[in-house]
Chains A and B, each alone.
Chain A
Amino acid sequence: MDRIPILKLRDLLLVSIQVDMHDRLALQLQDELTARISETGARGVLIDISALDIVDSFIGRMIANIAAMARVLDAETVVVGMRPAVAITLVELGLTLPGVRTALNVDRGMALLEAKTSSMPEPTTDLNDADASHAD
């Protein structure tokens, strides 16, 4: 049976959905992710759905739920890499994922999370430095 891996990256959790999402898998992910957040005290969760090309109303709601649960556990959640077709489907289904942060790709999502989680002084400084040097 498929499992969706949850990777710990410093104090972030990285979930990359690379298989076809079905209902049981979504429920299992919800259980495992909430358990891992409370276990590790992660400050941020990044859910990469760039490989997901079919969603239905259930999966759409699960994504919203997982994000909401992570926020209750005080972890900032970013959903990244949504495909155009998926975005259109979710909007047509009326699932606009209110309150869920989104980013175009993992890179952008990481930058967003690092900017948000203030308890990470080193990466934040690095980011600012990189930006400053880029601006010059």
Chain B
Amino acid sequence: MSSVSDVAIPHILKTYQAELLDEWMREQMASFRSGSKIKEAELRGQSTEFLSLLQQATQSGNVTDIHAPTFGRVRDLLGDLSRSRGIQGFSPLETAAFIFSLKRPLFARIRREMAGDADGLAVVTWSATELLDKLGLFTTEIYQKSREQVIARQQEELLELSTPVVKLWDGILALPMIGTLDSARTQVVMESLLQRIVETEAEVAIIDITGVPTVDTLTAQHLLKTVTAARLMGADCIISGIRPQIAQTIVHLGVDLTDVTTKATLADAFRKALEMTGQGPKLRARS
């Protein structure tokens, strides 16, 4: 599909490079609010590089297919730019503005260049719009991806942070659970608890659910699974920190906790655990 735009766009980019850059810079600086995080010199460097790369890419006669190999370096530059903006905490608007603010200067040049040729103007404008829209969407997509990576990493870290297994006494482990229990978290909790049971040769594990906001059938089932797995390893489990509302919910849901020792507070559970491991009297004698 060779048309006037394949020739006109690279030509305009080349001829008016300096002019375009100045006007584009003004547009960009205006789109950022005062006290923005970006420095003008840095932005100018990025813009200059982008314009010259775009000019080289369109030179080959392919203007609108941004996934072609000729656009490789343009894509790399945009990828780096939106990734770094995503990590620095720019808004999606500010990131996409990099591309979209080029429209006004570019269209003005096209109009001047194509004056007197209405058909040509329409064709070239359409190609330019298509090109800039595609580049803009590409920027937004990369931005979104980089944000998602940040979220995924944080989730992972949260998962590690929120499941500590604490050794309370010889042979007694405590597992203070905080936050909502979903399948992925329960799996991590179960694995780390069982691993610690092996390492510390614990006989009793206290699962404290004071920090668990709600208990539904799924959560209760996860808890029961953890208790059963610990029992298969030869350790007894005590569930503590059941708040009055949660006790009511558990009974209303018909969850059967009869095989599990439950205590209202962690202190009660700890006392029970000391008795179970035969360390209760010793503790009293010592104090």
What residues make up the interface of A, taking CB atoms closer than 8 Å to B?
79-80, 82-84, 86-88, 90-92, 96-97, 102-105, 108-109, 131, 135
Contact = CB atoms under 8 A, between A and B. Distances in A.
Given A90-B232, A91-B225, A135-B282, A104 B198 contact: yes
Contacts of A108: 201, 203, 234
B156 to A, nearest CB: 20
Contacts of B8: none
B233 A82 contact: yes
Interface centre among A84, A88, A92, A108 (most CB of B within 10 A): A84
A109 B203 CA distance: 12
B262 to A, nearest CB: 18
A105 B201 contact: yes
Interface centre among A80, A91, A135 (most CB of B within 10 A): A91
Interface size class, chain B: 20 to 34
B19 interface: no
B244 interface: no
B201 A104 contact: yes
B234 A82 contact: yes
Interface stretch (B77-85, B116-124, B133-141, B188-196): B188-196
Contacts of B197: 84, 104
Interface of B (DSSP majority class): helix
Interface of B: 187, 190-191, 194-195, 197-198, 201-203, 225, 228-235, 278, 281-282
B233 A97 contact: no
B203 A104 contact: yes
Contacts of A104: 197-198, 201-203, 233-235
B233 A102 contact: yes
Contacts of B282: 135
Contact of A88 (B190, B202, B203, B234): B190
Given A88-B190, A131-B278, A102 B232 contact: yes
A82 B203 contact: no
A40 B187 CA distance: 43
B233 A84 contact: yes
Contacts of A91: 225, 228-229, 232
A88 B231 contact: no
A92 B191 CA distance: 13
Contact of B233 (A87, A92, A135): A87
Nearest to B281: A135
A90 B229 CA distance: 8
A105 to B, nearest CB: 7
Contacts of B281: 135
A81 to B, nearest CB: 8
Given A104-B198, A131-B278, A87 B232 contact: yes
Contacts of A79: 232
Contacts of B228: 91, 96
A79 B203 CA distance: 15
A92 B229 CA distance: 9
Nearest to B171: A104
Contact of A82 (B201, B202, B232): B232
Of all A-B residue pairs in the complex, the 5 with the closest CB atoms, nearest first, are: A84-B194, A103-B234, A104-B234, A87-B232, A102-B234
Contact of B232 (A97, A105, A109): A97
